[in-house]
Structure 1
Amino acid sequence: MSTATVYTSAKPVGFSDQARLYIAAFIIVLIAEYIGNVAIPLGPAKIVLLPLLWALLMGAALGLASKRMPPGVSITSELQRSAAALLQPALLLFIAKLGLLVGGSIPKLAASGGGLFLQEFGHFFGTMVFGLPIALLLGIKRQAIGATFSVGREPSLAIIAERFGMKSPEGQGVLAEYLTGTVFGAVFIALLAGLLASLNLFNPLALAMGAGVGSGSMMAAASGAIAAQQTPEVAKDVAAFAAASNLITTTIGTYFTLFLSLPFTIWAYKVLEPILGRTTKASVTADADVGADVDHETPPLDIPAQVLVWVLVGVFALFGNWINYKVPATDPMALGGMAIIIGVVLVGYLLYRLTMRKLPAVIWVSLVGMALTYPAFPFSASISAMTGKINFLALSTPILAFAGLSIAKDVPAFRRLGWRIVVVSFAANAGTFIGAAIIAQFFMHNPGV
């Protein structure tokens, strides 16, 4: 398989360096939660900046400033790769919390009608419908296929690499989408989701379904921005619907993308390029190797290291929950709730390993959480009460802190992309969110029970 990516040897960092990374993340979480929600009015609409966005921005700033900081304080490129490695296990805690919310909301999910399933067509075709015409009008050629057939996360990279190779124009396009999503994806989708929520054009549950784009960090950012503008009860439903949508996207997304989205985007490119295509400087320079110094490899994490991640991120979230949601970190119910969340992750991860990793760990963790709070489960009410003490947004802030700390390593490659491909990436991300929300709005029933 051809590839334009350079892989370096990603080795585990030392204990003191790892401790510095955790301390930096903890401080970022405390500051971000202390700042809290900041609403910026825009006429009849508003943009809400959440703690998770502050955490992402502060983490990115710290990584970008690392070369100007003393060696014992800076977040080096090795630590940035380590932060990227911690992101996935940390995300499992957030998935567990959402699974616990989904279990108790299954009756409402069932009452919502076909919108929850049909909106997936918006996720997988919205990227192309919004992004491809803009790419062609801006003079981008076959790179537009890779950039707009899906939200460019790791599965999309694998699909394009297998079909075309990463040195192909399609490979350059998906890599550009991947980099833009990594650097700006969570910020962009959170601002867009918050703006749309403030306009009251959509049912918040339709927007929540749109938030399940298949990226954990982007889903956390979008659902948080929507939930922040709702009542506490509706905010819980927003989290549940976003989690259910994201689970569906994660489960069938690779197959849907491979067999439907990509072939349809290739066909649409052949039809639309003669009509909308232009030849610009972007058409000539797009063949540059945009991924020459992109390093996707992250240090390996054994099981004890992952358990440490779950415990420490749980502690970070407890303090953030205390600052912003006024539940003391020492509250027995909160401590019990966090223990349950960590337990859900442990059991889900064990099932993932026992089944030879045939299904992603996020699916197992989600299913375990859903089972514990399903109304028919004997202890569901008690488990819901305890885990309900932990706001799902408090768990998202540490995740976005690690995401921010990992961003700087990708900035050199991102700078070479050019503004056109960034615009196309934003259009594709907006398309997957808005497309799904429109379909959900049209087909869903109001599940208010």
Structure 2
Amino acid sequence: MPNEAQTTGGTVSASVDAPPSLSFRARPALWVAMIALSTAICAVAIMIGTHKFQFGPAAIVLMPILWTVLIGGFLGVQRWKPVGGHARAVSTHLMDVSIVFFLAGLGTQIGPSLAKFTNIGPAILLQEVGHVVGTVILALPVAVALGLGRTAIGATWSIDRESYLAFAIQRFGVRSPEYRGVFAVWVLGSVFGAVFISLLAGLLGGLDFFDPRALALGLGLGSASMMLGGVGALSILYPEMAGEIMALAALSNLVTNIVGFYAGVFIALPLCQKLYRMWSRIFGRDDLGHRIRRGALNPAAGRARAGGADSARPGLARTKSDEESGIDAVDVYGIEEDPVVVRTPKTWLIAFTATGVAGVLLNALGTGSARPLDAVGVLILLALTAIALVLAKLVPVVPSSIWVLALATVASAPFLPIGPAIASTTQHISVLFAGLPMIALIGMSLGRDVKALRSLSWKIVIVALMTFTASFLAAAVIAQIAFQF
């Protein structure tokens, strides 16, 4: 699946080392087709525009991000001319640049506003507590009550982005219930996360209960696409605060990327495992999620049957625990293995050029104005993108998302001699429009995940949505409280 793993995980060149049988050199026509198609999808979405529907005090905001996902997703799953594995491999390469370019734009919005954030430092730090424990406190009991068994642990200890998926493979094994929970939330978040968070942010923002800054901090979920969706909705509801909302969300996301994973591993996961045992006793469930008689509960009784953390089931047959978790274990949960593009200086040049040209065109279409200086601003963002990708290659332990946000923030900060110049050059570039190709490319790759999505039960879908909601809502509530002091 084309996702943020290749970029935010600092492994943008991992596909170069793929087995030769899975590597290929993309034809020029394939590059042209994917670049033109993704840009056209974004242009159509921008022309459809933004529509806001009021439902009492709340509001649902339908915006270009939503149309981009829907159009891209339709093209990705239709059978007449399906988007194949080679095309998805090209889109993955394009996304490696597009995502970091988007984050570079966010960074240049943080730098000029650093002085404004000195008085809300505690709120930025405290909201991370909400991301860490909100899912465990709010979503875990629902998952246990629905009978997910130990799958509930993997589904609720975080919003399960790529770093958590990798950790779960090593910690629990791919046949464990915990991993199946992580996998399910990861798939649903990658495909529907941006749309869901945009709708949720619009509903909460329309209530006039939360400080928009608190909601912006809550959007630092560790996912660029989810953050983009939420920022878009809040910026429409509070246009006079759009710049501050975007900067706060990006800053919060940076904090989450830096400390969120470690807090999740060392705080949220142990807490989730302890509370899981408590909720299992309360709801009378064993490790398979089956109801048992009161007084006879032993949560560990079904561990061997469920596939323990330290053991894997022999064979690939679908067992009762697979049915309970709603995941098909026969073919590693239905994710197809796409070929990968052989990456060369030429392919990187194509990806950077496509990102830059699309950024200029979509920004002009979305904002309704085209300034020669905007092209210079896009070049600056591309330069920051290139530096971040190189640094992530040299220092793999630090992902490119952190590199680019830090570089862009510092480069545009007023305390540097070049800061005001970079800030003024990039201030008219709307990353909500320039970053849309990332969403289109994700949507067009949906065909690869259809089998995995079909294998998910309605229970895990509910729990995944609860996990996203709990993480966002708990962080926003904590930030709201922090703003009161």
With the length of structure 2 as denominator, give the TM-score of the two structures: 0.84
Give the match for residue 270 of structure 1: 277
Give the match for residue 80 of structure 2: 68
The amino acid of 1:238's aligned partner reads I
Contact 1:321 1:390 in 2 (8 A): yes
Structure 2 Cα separation of the partners of residues 293 and 11 of structure 1: 23
In the TM superposition, what are the counterparts of 1:90-101 in structure 2 within 5 Å? 90-101=98-109
Give the match for residue 375 of structure 2: 335
Give the match for residue 286 of structure 1: 324
2:96 corresponds to 1:55 = no
2:322 corresponds to 1:315 = no
The amino acid of 1:293's aligned partner reads G
The amino acid of 2:255's aligned partner reads I
SS in structure 1 opposite 2:414?
Answer: coil
* 1:266/1:41 CA distance change after superposition, 3 Å: same
The amino acid of 2:76's aligned partner reads G
SS in structure 1 opposite 2:237?
Answer: coil
Give the match for residue 4 of structure 1: none
1:33, distance to aligned residue in structure 2 (A): 0.9
Structure 2 Cα separation of the partners of residues 10 and 138 of structure 1: 43
In the TM superposition, what are the counterparts of 1:336-355 in structure 2 within 5 Å? 336-353=376-393, 355=394
1:220, distance to aligned residue in structure 2 (A): 1.0
2:55 corresponds to 1:42 = yes
1:347, distance to aligned residue in structure 2 (A): 2.3
> Max radius of gyration: which structure?
2
Point out where structure 2 has 5 or more consecutive residues left out of the alignment.
Answer: 1-18, 292-319
The amino acid of 1:9's aligned partner reads L
Structure 2 Cα separation of the partners of residues 298 and 426 of structure 1: 31
* 1:302/1:124 CA distance change after superposition, 3 Å: farther
> Alpha-carbon deviations, 1:304-338, whole Å to 9, x = none?
4234323312222222222221121xx21111111
2:265 corresponds to 1:258 = yes
Contact 1:10 1:297 in 2 (8 A): no
1:296, distance to aligned residue in structure 2 (A): 6.4
Contact 2:147 2:324 in 1 (8 A): no
2:280 corresponds to 1:239 = no
Contact 1:99 1:368 in 2 (8 A): yes
**Higher deviation after alignment, 437-446 or 88-97:** 437-446
> Alpha-carbon deviations, 1:323-367, whole Å to 9, x = none?
221121xx21111111111111122223333x4323111111112
> Alpha-carbon deviations, 1:31-74, whole Å to 9, x = none?
01111111122222111111122111110000111x212xxxx4
The amino acid of 1:148's aligned partner reads T
* 1:277/1:401 CA distance change after superposition, 3 Å: farther
Contact 1:327 1:334 in 2 (8 A): no
Identical-residue share of aligned pairs (%)? 33
With the length of structure 1 as denominator, give the TM-score of the two structures: 0.91
Equivalenced residue count is 431
Structure 1 Cα separation of the partners of residues 460 and 250 of structure 2: 29
Structure 2 Cα separation of the partners of residues 251 and 273 of structure 1: 33
1:303, distance to aligned residue in structure 2 (A): 4.7
1:443, distance to aligned residue in structure 2 (A): 0.8
* 1:136/1:12 CA distance change after superposition, 3 Å: farther
Give the match for residue 149 of structure 1: 157
SS in structure 2 opposite 1:21?
Answer: helix
Structure 2 Cα separation of the partners of residues 373 and 445 of structure 1: 30
2:459 corresponds to 1:420 = yes
> Alpha-carbon deviations, 1:75-105, whole Å to 9, x = none?
2233234323432321101110111111111
Contact 1:103 1:373 in 2 (8 A): yes
For the aligned residue pairs, the C-alpha RMSD in angstroms reads 2.1
Give the match for residue 357 of structure 1: 396
SS in structure 2 opposite 1:286?
Answer: helix
The amino acid of 2:361's aligned partner reads F
In the TM superposition, what are the counterparts of 1:199-210 in structure 2 within 5 Å? 199-210=207-218
The amino acid of 1:137's aligned partner reads A
The amino acid of 2:189's aligned partner reads G
Structure 2 Cα separation of the partners of residues 203 and 106 of structure 1: 19
> Alpha-carbon deviations, 1:243-301, whole Å to 9, x = none?
11111111112211111111111111111111135556996722553543214666254
Structure 2 Cα separation of the partners of residues 277 and 183 of structure 1: 33
Contact 1:105 1:237 in 2 (8 A): yes
**Higher deviation after alignment, 205-214 or 343-352:** 343-352
* 1:80/1:258 CA distance change after superposition, 3 Å: same
Give the match for residue 248 of structure 1: 255
Structure 2 Cα separation of the partners of residues 296 and 444 of structure 1: 47
Contact 2:126 2:479 in 1 (8 A): yes
2:470 corresponds to 1:431 = yes
The amino acid of 2:366's aligned partner reads N
SS in structure 1 opposite 2:276?
Answer: helix
Structure 1 Cα separation of the partners of residues 339 and 161 of structure 2: 15
* 1:122/1:11 CA distance change after superposition, 3 Å: farther
SS in structure 2 opposite 1:199?
Answer: coil
1:108, distance to aligned residue in structure 2 (A): 1.4
In the TM superposition, what are the counterparts of 1:186-201 in structure 2 within 5 Å? 186-201=194-209
Contact 1:172 1:289 in 2 (8 A): no
Structure 2 Cα separation of the partners of residues 111 and 361 of structure 1: 28
SS in structure 1 opposite 2:333?
Answer: coil
In the TM superposition, what are the counterparts of 1:376-387 in structure 2 within 5 Å? 376-387=415-426
SS in structure 1 opposite 2:182?
Answer: helix
SS in structure 2 opposite 1:272?
Answer: helix
* 1:105/1:303 CA distance change after superposition, 3 Å: farther
SS in structure 2 opposite 1:46?
Answer: strand
2:29 corresponds to 1:16 = yes
* 1:277/1:322 CA distance change after superposition, 3 Å: farther
Contact 2:100 2:385 in 1 (8 A): yes
Give the match for residue 308 of structure 2: none
Give the match for residue 10 of structure 2: none
